[in-house]
Amino acid sequence: MSLKTVLTDINLVAVLVAGIVHMAIGLIWFSPWLFGNQWTQLTNQNMKPDRNWIPAGVVGHLVIALVLAVVVTFANATTAVEGFVVGLLMWLGFVVTLEVGELIWEKIPFKLFMIRIGNHFVALGAAGAILAVWR
């Protein structure tokens, strides 16, 4: 299976939905009802985004969904569980390993590390499940 074939076979509506779900999970995860207050304390930031960066954030979530769709297709994942596992492998192989660098070199608090990787665990797993089922 070539990359060209994979890219032409991807369901772009599923990518859009997976990207929106990925973003929505982040918005909920970092809301004051879950981990938002802890995040603001640990990072000395506020919850007010710079409006100039919002479009870049949306595009970022869509790119994550598109790349995950390619990996899900190459993995031939067709069930929610298989898609979730692909998302978790991407999480473990890329997110956790990069965040460990933040933990070690930038000395972020362990609690912040857990909040950040937890968000990606749920979001990538959910997006992977959507992309595997909705092909």
Quote the CA–CA distance of 98 and 91 in Å, as a whole number: 10
Of 102, 95, 106, 111, the closest CA to residue 37 belongs to 111
Please state the pTM of the whole predicted model: 0.92
Quote the CA–CA distance of 19 and 102 in Å, as a whole number: 25
Percent of the chain scored above 90 by pLDDT? 83
- Per-residue pLDDT tens over the stretch 42-81: 999 988 877 777 888 999 999 999 999 999 999 999 999 9
- The yes-or-no verdict on residue 106 having pLDDT over 90 is yes
- The yes-or-no verdict on residue 1 having pLDDT over 80 is no
Higher pLDDT, 23 or 55: 23
